[in-house]
């Protein structure tokens, strides 16, 4: 992916994402407690943990889909503050893929992919369509460009969602349980698409229960429980010799 | 009292004076729907606003205009406003009353449409850095609109018949002209039966339009749709 946007601040920070003492609360419930996480440029992180452990909340705080209550978040050196300008700058660095795809159902696949480049990057329709078609080609779905999302399978829809996010040329891709809503036979095609990004040096943060994917692709596994990061380690080490009781218990539960 | 006279009924059905009233009813309905949509959208946006003053105004507006009979609203506008020096004429008074009234219902229908658009749609657009305005016009509004069509159709149906209340302030639509015809020969049943047929006819036409709207805006959700849509530029 070409790096054609210039961010003065971005050059100084060696991390793609840096979170320092981040807290997130919903009323009396503390969803994230003292989150410290540094993600290097080009690094691939898998976040796992039991349900309700705050994985999705963490990833959704990075692009301000959820608003963090305390602490600092930097994306490519840009501080994420609670004002529209800062939020917009950070969101232009990040792309997100959701569990439920969240394609726009009233637009064709192609329209889904050109909406943001045309409105946010002010690309001409032709340039936006060229970019979209190239990326749809890459996720092997170019022939469906004129269809509506409802006419595609879940796996195809999620691949479109990945292409749509890539159309904005993000530096960091955030995946929020991208295969959890898929039928089993469609999981693989989506994981393959995600793996294909690795070669581009894309920074990836992925919340997933796909431990095979974590082993194969991740540089580091981040294990969360009850809103805290409990353990971080390279996948080999995490899966074979987890350091904490909670991680051991979790792995026992999910690996059969 | 005579029995129902079918011949007189048929005569009234093709009575040009009554047909003139039908045109007025159609005009009143179309103008009120158009005005009601614009005002209703504004009220709905205020109702969904974070600004307490706008929100409070919208709540009060909806509470008042849904809470009082249209008949009273029309009479107050027609007889009350001139006392404040505002002279509007019959048609304008009726239009203002109908629009104010319809807007209060449409505002709630529009709001419910927006609330029914899944939050994930907005989140996806945010994550893509789509500007706020574009999110409204291209993402939420079209989806809200599809969800609004059935209750909107209901409301237009009610409004079409509610225009008959404008007869009270002497707007010569179907109802008023039926009254006038009735006073000539006192063929009460025959005249009003003819008027009812006209309302039925108009409502049926609207039903067809509504069906078209529903299938047009629902086409993208049809899993088996064969044809690809025309390119929109």
Tell me what ipTM this predicted complex has.
0.91
Reported as a single tens digit per residue, the pLDDT across A162-200 is 999 999 999 999 999 999 999 989 999 999 999 988 888
Residue A196 placed within a domain: yes
Asked if residue A6 is part of any domain, the answer here is no
Provide mean pLDDT across the span A101-116: 96
pLDDT tens digits, A117-150: 999 999 999 999 999 999 999 999 999 999 999 9
Would the CB atoms of B233 and A125 count as touching at under 8 Å? yes
- pLDDT confidence of residue A40: 95
Higher-pLDDT residue of B62, B221: B62
Residue with tokens 């070669």: A199
Is the Cβ pair A65, B126 closer than 8 Å?
yes
- The distance of B104 to chain A (nearest Cα, Å) reads 28
**Structural domain includes residue A9:** no
CATH number of the domain residue A23 falls in: 3.40.50.300
Residue B15 CB coordination number (10 Å): 16
pLDDT at A168: 96
Whole-number Å distance between alpha carbons of B152 and B145: 9
CB contact under 8 A, B228 and A147: yes
Structural domain harbouring A153? 15-253
Smallest CA–CA separation between B134 and chain A, in Å? 7
Contact assignment for A116 to B139 by CB distance below 8 Å: no
Query: Which residues, other chains included, contact B94 with Cβ-Cβ below 8 Å and sequence gap of 6+?
Result: B28, B74, B78, B163, B166, B169, B171
Domain assignment present for A161:
yes
Tell me whether residue A103 is in a domain: yes
**Region label for A64, one of left (φ > 0), alpha (ψ between -120 and 50) or beta (otherwise):** left
Percent with pLDDT over 90 in chain A: 88
Q: What DSSP line would sit under A23-48, residue for residue? A: EEEETTEEEEEEEEEEEETT-EEEEE
Q: What are the tens digits of pLDDT across the range A49-97? A: 998 999 999 999 999 999 999 999 999 999 999 999 999 999 999 999 9
Q: What is the mean pLDDT of residues B171-181?
A: 91
Which 3-state string (H, E, C) describes chain B?
A: CCCCCHHHHHHHHCCHHHHHHHHHHHHHHHHHHHHHHHHHHHHHHHHCCCCHHHHHHHHHHHHHHHHCCHHHHHHHHHHHHHHHCCCCCHHHHHHHHHHHHHHHHHHHHHHHHHHHCCHHHHHHHHHCCCCHHHHHHHHHHHHHHHHHHHHHHHHHHHHHHHHHHHHHHCCCCHHHHHHHHHHHHCCHHHHHHHHHHHHHHHHHHHHHHHHHHHHHHHHHHCCCCCCCCCCCC
pLDDT, mean of residues B212-229? 75
Residue A176 falls within a domain, yes or no? yes
The answer to whether residue A24 is domain-embedded is yes
Mind telling me how many Å the CA of A220 is from chain B's nearest CA?
A: 24
On chain A, the residues whose CB falls within 8 A of the CB of B136 are none
Domain count, chain A: 1
Check if the beta carbon of residue B146 is closer than 8 Å to that of residue B215. no
Task: Spell out which residues of chain A touch residue B131, defining contact as CB-CB under 8 Å.
Answer: 119-120
pLDDT higher than 50, residue A5: no
Among A99, A79, A82, CA closest to A90: A79
Find the mean pLDDT for residues A243-256.
Answer: 88
Domains located in chain B, CATH noted? 6-232 (1.10.3720.10)
Does residue A10 fall inside a structural domain? no
Which whole number is the average pLDDT over A9-14? 62
């Amino acid at each position: 992916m070409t790096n054609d946007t210039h961010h003065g601040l971005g050059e100084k920070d060696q991390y793609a994402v840096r979170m320092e003492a981040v807290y997130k609360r919903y009323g009396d419930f503390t969803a994230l407690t003292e989150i410290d996480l540094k993600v290097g440029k080009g690094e691939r992180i898998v976040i796992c943990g039991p349900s309700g452990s705050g994985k999705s909340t963490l990833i959704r705080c990075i692009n301000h889909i959820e608003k963090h209550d305390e602490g600092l978040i930097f994306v490519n050196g840009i501080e994420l503050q609670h004002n529209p300008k800062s939020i917009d700058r950070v969101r232009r660095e990040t792309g997100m893929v959701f569990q439920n795809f969240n394609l726009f159902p009233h637009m064709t696949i192609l329209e889904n992919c050109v909406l943001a480049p045309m409105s946010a990057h002010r690309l001409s329709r032709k340039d936006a369509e060229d970019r979209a078609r190239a990326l749809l080609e890459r996720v092997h779905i170019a022939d469906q460009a004129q269809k509506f999302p409802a006419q595609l399978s879940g796996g195809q829809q999620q691949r479109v969602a990945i292409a749509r996010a890539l159309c904005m040329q993000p530096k960091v891709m955030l995946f929020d349980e991208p295969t959890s809503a898929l039928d089993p036979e469609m999981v693989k095609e989506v994981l393959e698409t995600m793996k294909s990004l690795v070669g581009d040096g894309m920074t990836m943060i992925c919340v997933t229960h796909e431990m095979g994917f974590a082993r194969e692709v991740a540089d580091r596994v981040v294990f969360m429980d009850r809103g805290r990061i409990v353990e971080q380690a390279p996948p080999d080490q995490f899966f074979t010799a987890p350091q904490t009781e909670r991680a051991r218990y979790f792995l026992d539960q999910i690996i059969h | 009292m005579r029995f129902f006279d079918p011949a007189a009924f048929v005569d009234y059905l093709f009575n040009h004076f009554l047909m003139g009233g039908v045109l007025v009813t159609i005009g009143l309905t179309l103008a009120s729907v158009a005005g009601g949509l614009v005002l209703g959208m504004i009220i709905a946006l205020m109702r969904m606003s974070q600004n307490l003053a706008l929100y409070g105004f919208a709540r009060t507006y909806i509470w008042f205009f849904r809470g009082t009979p249209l008949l009273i609203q029309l009479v107050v506008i027609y007889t009350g406003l001139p006392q404040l020096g505002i002279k509007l004429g019959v048609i304008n008074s009726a239009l203002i009353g109908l629009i104010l009234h319809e807007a209060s219902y449409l505002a709630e229908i529009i709001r419910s449409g927006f609330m029914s658009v899944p939050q994930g749609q907005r989140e996806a657009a945010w994550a893509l850095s789509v500007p706020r305005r574009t999110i409204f016009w291209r993402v939420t509004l079209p989806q809200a609109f599809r969800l609004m069509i059935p209750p909107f159709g209901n409301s237009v149906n009610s409004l079409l018949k509610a225009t008959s209340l404008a007869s009270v302030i002497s707007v010569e639509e179907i109802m008023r002209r039926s009254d006038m015809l009735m006073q000539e020969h006192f063929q009460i049943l025959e005249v009003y039966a003819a008027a009812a047929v006209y309302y039925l006819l108009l409502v049926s036409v609207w039903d067809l339009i509504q069906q078209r709207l529903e299938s047009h805006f629902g086409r993208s959700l049809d899993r088996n749709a064969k044809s690809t849509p025309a390119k929109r530029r």
